[in-house]
Structure 1
Amino acid sequence: MIKYKSLHHVSLSVTDLERAKAFYGKILCLKEIERPDFDFPGAWYEIEGKQLHLIVHPSSQTIRKDKSLSSREGHFALRVENYHETRNWLRKNEIEILEKPNSKSGFAQIFCADPDGNLIELNVDQKEL
């Protein structure tokens, strides 16, 4: 049996590091942290004690070709403080979103994608709407 302490990090493939850093740093407002000096480019971000690792890999097999938003595609989710402020920020920055405020999950969800099509869910408990 495996006993877990927590989720440590999520890694995503990206094709253009500067474009990805602009999205994750400026649009999603994540804090970039120091990254080891690997022999390939990338960036690391800290999210409430957990990490998101971006890895530049132009021939990745995990980058979606169809960039349409679907909540059923593989994604990672971040809990946000305020649904409406998050939605308004994304709209102000002209980020395409898919809203599911009444999801059966119990979360009010906003889906968006990074420039490579990696899906991100931003959510709050529906009771907080």
Structure 2
Amino acid sequence: MPVTALHHFTIRCAPHELPPLLDFYTRVMRLTVGARPEIPAPGAWLYADGQPIVHLYAHLSTPDEPVEPVTGHVDHISFRAHGLAEMRAHLRAHGVAFAEAPIPGWAIHQLFLHDPRGLKIEMTFWMDQEDRQGGKGGTA
């Protein structure tokens, strides 16, 4: 049986990092807080199009299990998005710096930014006529 999609990713953080991460992913990335099972640690499940795609998990560290990342080397997480010009304006309005990367020969345009913990976020826009319009420039 083949893998068919990425279901979600989890960002583990210290409890004091949860509020700024929750703010970033809801205000800047426009995800919505949704239903979450009763898990003993603080956190949130963030939804896009009715699907829980980002899980925030505030790890309650102990001496035996510190909060430090232990799961490897993720370079970035990519979200599919639409409305490139609107997203540029939205990021600028929230003071979020970003870089742009059109993909030569493909109808794809990418924006790169970072969340409050430094995780690189890619936003991938499949370009249609509406998205091909609008100015570029990526610093807030």
SS of equivalent to 2:103: coil
Question: Which of 53, 64, 68 in structure 2 is aligned with 1:60?
Answer: 68
TM-score under structure 1 length normalisation: 0.78
d(CA) in 1 for partners of 2:69, 2:29? 24
SS of equivalent to 1:43: strand
Equivalent runs, 1:20-39 vs 2, <5 Å: 20-39=21-40
Conserved 8 A contact 1:78-1:121? yes
Aligned residues: 118
Equivalent runs, 1:1-129 vs 2, <5 Å: 2-15=1-14, 16-48=17-49, 49-57=51-59, 59-61=67-69, 74-100=75-101, 102-104=102-104, 106=106, 107-127=108-128, 128-129=131-132
- Shift, 1:103, TM fit: 2.2
d(CA) in 1 for partners of 2:70, 2:115? 13
Q: Please, what is the CA RMSD of the aligned residues?
A: 2.3
- Shift, 1:86, TM fit: 0.4
- Shift, 1:104, TM fit: 4.0
SS of equivalent to 2:20: helix
Identical counterparts, % of pairs: 25
The change in CA–CA distance for 1:56 and 1:83 in structure 2 (over 3 A counts) is: same
The change in CA–CA distance for 1:105 and 1:116 in structure 2 (over 3 A counts) is: farther
- Shift, 1:41, TM fit: 1.6
Query: Which amino acid in the other structure matches residue 47 of structure 1?
Result: A
**Structure 1, unaligned stretches of length 5 or more?**
64-72
Conserved 8 A contact 2:9-2:55? yes
- Shift, 1:122, TM fit: 1.1
Conserved 8 A contact 2:32-2:48? yes
